[in-house]
Amino acid sequence: MGGASQLFKTDLEGLDRLIRKLRSGGYVVYGPVKQGRSWFFLEIDSVKQVDLNYVRTVLPPKKLLHPPREKLFEFKLDDGFEVSEKPTPSAVALFGVHPCDLKAIERQDEFFSQTPEDPYYLARRRNTLIIGLTCTRVDENCFCLSRGTGPEVSTGFDILITDVGNGYLLEPGSAKGLELLKSLGFQEAGDEYLEAKQKLIEELKKSFTKHMPSEGLAELAKSLLDHEVWKETAERCLSCGNCSLVCPTCYCFDVYDVLELNLRSGVRVRELDSCQLLEYAEVALGGNFRRNRFQRLRHWMLCKFGAAGGGLYSSCVGCGRCIVYCPASIDLTEVAGRLRGGG
């Protein structure tokens, strides 16, 4: 990482220039915007729309890389059929992505790069510039520290912004990011900026109250498939699928065909799916290998603990969204704690 030694600094106006520069370069820029009580990644044209002190958005930036619904291809049925693929996506810049979400994107990148590559995700990812943002605060549902996914990150971004109080430290994470910073004429930052960042990180580390260490968790959970915690927790679970919808590492999707009214052409679509829904594991003639709610809850948690199909790539980064948005107050860190012998 040749860029690591070169650090820049700027002020709020400079961040605004960065956003304007991206927009004039053809990027659609998304950043964390507060609406009501929550934050959302929305299209922005100025830093003024962004809340740089946000905690977490409702949906992770996944929605822009692995969208909730997307067309795989179009087809024509006329005489036999013809399939045509979709065009390439437009360039997107994600502004203000927190460390947990940066790590989640890295995991999704690796997941979708496994052979055979997923051309839709990777085409979009290649056209995406990522500007990370170090958190300024931690709430009672953040636990990236124990997952090793924050609050400090060294990869997963083109540029990383840190609010150091009297200005912003800008660290390039890629050649593209370095070039962008240079082109904006930002001044080099002195050591005091790095020291201030280090102090902020140390302060943040002290404020975590939730923990779910990764060490041995996957193996432990797999060895405790009959633990009572699964059934007990599932009694409250509504199988609504919120947890997987808001999870930045959940990648599962459904595929289906939609015919046009003329019945001669149509599209094949993929749509985010959730293993919490009953139909997810249904097979022909009414068979279902996860008919019971506890099996679905257990499968999802095993996945987040790194013990299901996606392994590390779909495991938890500690963003806390599933805890915040669970209508039944289910907390996977409590389940992990029970498995480890607490309670």
Ligand X SMILES: Cc1cc2nc3c(=O)[nH]c(=O)nc-3n(C[C@H](O)[C@H](O)[C@H](O)COP(=O)(O)OP(=O)(O)OC[C@H]3O[C@@H](n4cnc5c(N)ncnc54)[C@H](O)[C@@H]3O)c2cc1C
The entry of ligand X, other proteins, none that residue 73 binds, CB within 5 to 8 Å by partner kind: other proteins
341 binds other proteins (CB under 8 A): no
58 binds other proteins (CB under 8 A): no
Pattern 284-323, ligand X, x by CB under 6 A: x---------------------------------------
Minimum CB distance to other proteins, residue 335 (Å) = 15
290 binds other proteins (CB under 8 A): yes
Name the residue among 36, 53, 64 with its Cα closest to residue 98: 53
| Cα–Cα distance, 256 to 273 (Å, whole number) | 12
Local structure of 73: helix, strand or coil: strand
Local structure of 322: helix, strand or coil: helix
| Cα–Cα distance, 133 to 39 (Å, whole number) | 15
Minimum CB distance to other proteins, residue 30 (Å) = 24
Local structure of 161: helix, strand or coil: strand
Task: Tell me, letter by letter, the H, E, C secondary structure of 283-321.
Answer: CHHHCECCCCHHHHHHHHHHHHCCCCCCHHHHCCCCCCH
Residue 21 vs 71, nearer CB to other proteins: 71
Minimum CB distance to other proteins, residue 282 (Å) = 6
Place of tokens 């997963």: 156
Minimum CB distance to ligand X, residue 119 (Å) = 22
114 binds other proteins (CB under 8 A): yes
Are residues 164 and 198 in contact, defined by beta-carbon separation less than 8 angstroms?
no
Binder among 45, 109, 282, 334 for other proteins (CB under 8 A): 282
Minimum CB distance to ligand X, residue 293 (Å) = 20
Place of tokens 């059934």: 231
What is the DSSP track for 255-287? EEEEE-TTSSEEEEEEEE--TTSGGGGB-GGG-
Name the residue among 108, 121, 77 with its Cα closest to residue 266: 77
| Cα–Cα distance, 179 to 198 (Å, whole number) | 25
Residues in region 242-261 near other proteins by CB under 8 A: 251-257, 259
| Cα–Cα distance, 304 to 217 (Å, whole number) | 10
Name the residue among 249, 247, 243, 333 with its Cα closest to residue 297: 243
258 binds ligand X (CB under 6 A): no
263 binds ligand X (CB under 6 A): no
Residue 286 vs 343, nearer CB to other proteins: 286
Local structure of 130: helix, strand or coil: strand
Binder among 261, 283, 329, 343 for ligand X (CB under 6 A): 283
Residue 98 vs 299, nearer CB to other proteins: 299
Residue 186 vs 313, nearer CB to other proteins: 313
Residues in region 168-227 near other proteins by CB under 8 A: 222, 225
The entry of other proteins, ligand X, none that residue 275 binds, CB within 5 to 8 Å by partner kind: other proteins
Residue 118 vs 282, nearer CB to ligand X: 282
Residues making contact with ligand X (CB under 6 A): 283-284
Residues making contact with other proteins (CB under 8 A): 72-73, 75, 77, 80-81, 83, 85, 111-112, 114, 116-120, 222, 225, 251-257, 259, 263, 266, 268, 270, 273, 275, 280-285, 289-290, 295, 298-299, 302, 307-311
